[in-house]
Structure 1
Amino acid sequence: MTTRIPVRAERDYDVVVGTDLGEELLPLVGDRVRRVLLMHAAPLGAAAATLTQRLETAGYEVVAVEVPDGEDAKTAAMLTRCWDTLGEAAFGREDVIVGMGGGATTDLAGFVAATWLRGVRIIQIPTTLLAMVDAAVGGKTGINTAAGKNLVGAFHSPSSVLCDLGTLRTLPRPDLVAGLAEVIKCGFIADPEILAIVDRATAAVTDPTSDELAELVRRAIQVKADVVAADLRESHLREILNYGHTFGHAIEHTEHYRWRHGEAVSVGMVYVAELARLAGRLDADVVAQHRDLLGRVGLPLGYPGGRWSQLHEAMRRDKKTRGDRLRFVVLDGVAEPGRLEGPEPELLVEAYAAITLG
């Protein structure tokens, strides 16, 4: 079954979810395009070659750029390389970029599209669960710097997103499980049915061929589409999509991006749930629900001790921080997101102690 989920943004577009979506791409590229810049993650060389052949047969000039897998793609050096390639190819406003890969690839490809000629079209083809339900949808683009993750970027909506569920069958299990963190996040902030599906069909949701996982993908994308439509540029509501990300990004930065994003966000959600409990905002049973569901699908729930100073410094650079006041997305209950501003330092440390391993 192919589903089209509309996203209302500065340019409306559809997220197409299904299997065997190869025939969907050419009509989206359009007949006014001469050149296609195909940016793809390194492990997808064979798939990129197949896609290049299909585009060239249709009459397009294809320029392929292979980017490193994972967060190593999101650097200023890689961005400059892509700009240079576009310049050498005389890439014009009528041409289109296609980003194929995981979240890091789609983040980079989106930023390249946002900045070349002040904005050209991009079609995103996410190939990981994380990218399908989060990175490729919503128009957030960016790269990392030495100071932190995604501190340089732009809002630039894609012209379309193609989520071919068949690609999940080739995804290593740890990557699939890591992507479930963003799915479960959507359940806690907006759609309790996601949590119910994970609860009653835990084994099925880690099966890339299951109907349950396909349903979770559609539901998580719908959550993001609804939030983006209400707040494209993250002036208020869209911040809820960052649930668990302030502490999660701090882990990624401290670990030099050796942790998968979803693994870090999983721990970040447990941390902020504990913080909300300590602040009197969240009942202990909802904290236990975090630990239960995230743990059952195989996600981490804690982080080593002795690293508070590095984590705290990284959180101070978070985009949601205002001045010296840390701001966290928290829950007052399932599907009841809010903000916690400037929590007492003692609460921050106590929440860290609650998720410390060993």
Structure 2
Amino acid sequence: MRIIQIIDSLESGGAERMAVSYANALAGRIEFSGLVVTRKEGPLHNQIDKQVSYLYLNKKSAADLKAILRLRAYVRQNNVTVIHAHSTSFFLAFLLKLSCPDLSLIWHDHYGDSDFLEKRPMIGLRAIVPFFDGIIVVNQKLKIWAEKELKFKNTIYLPNFPTEENIFSDDTKLKGAKGKRIVCLANLRVQKDHFLLLEVAKKIKNFYPEWSFHLIGKDFHDAYSQQIKHLIVAFNLEENVFLYGSKQDVKNILDQSTIAVLTSQSEGLPIALLEYGLNKKPIVVTDVGEISSLVQNGKNGFVVPAHQNELFYDAVVKLIGSESLQTNFGQELFQMIVANHSEEAVIQQYLNWLDNSNV
């Protein structure tokens, strides 16, 4: 097989990281593995394996003819047979298919608001999806939605998988007291519900003032991030909640942390959760997307309903109060990920699906 991944940027988001992970994982398993970035490069460029063929299109508009022709030439030059388009890059894959009808198209749907699918725009998708040969989804809700709303049968759920990062520097130094740090790996987006986290942090400060929260993720400098910063001041949390922006040395950051959390109101299967487990962190997370398929409440982590800040607070307090529980949760989650969400298992399932679908 000769497969390329297409993604719009190399910012540190879940879809972007999986595009890089698929390209890297396939590099040693198939004849040709490539990665095409359409609009914007970013920090994940450092994570691309040397065996992966790379192309940056610098696309200026949705129908940038120059970018389409460059992609077409790259595909023809490298005898690419399968286009694996992630998230919104499906439109460029569709335009390419019009001039290269022999190509097989796969769409990887990473839609983050899968708990609010009724609000998802449909017109463009319904027109384009018939040109695709398969759809990969990141949770079961998206699979049901694709089969029902898009009338697309060849749909498969493949869980995200964690990968070891390429470390270039361990330069992030977390503030706060050692052994009393709570980390959250999540870009500053509405669906991540940092407001719930701040409500919990405010209460934690009252009873456990030595504990601190560390927010790692891209700041889009929009109204949502401004509100987060406003609340940090309003809740008098300047010495308890810290923002770091987007970082690449995730393992280094987690090594400095004691507890890991996610307060999302919607998810697929978040990469952050897999990284928490791979680094044996005890977790408190919300019950959205596929999280409960991985986290068994009270066995390898605490799972609470979304929007429930009191329940979330109670779960964090239980972990703060028990080092043995922290250790047990971390070990159990690690074993679950190794057994069910390894790169090897997912990629093998992916390749089998492509073979059986005659892609």
Higher helix share: 1
Please say whether Structure 1 and Structure 2 have the same fold, judged by a TM-score greater than 0.5: no
TM-score (norm 2): 0.28
Give the TM-score taking structure 1 as reference length. 0.28
Q: Rg: which structure is higher?
A: 2
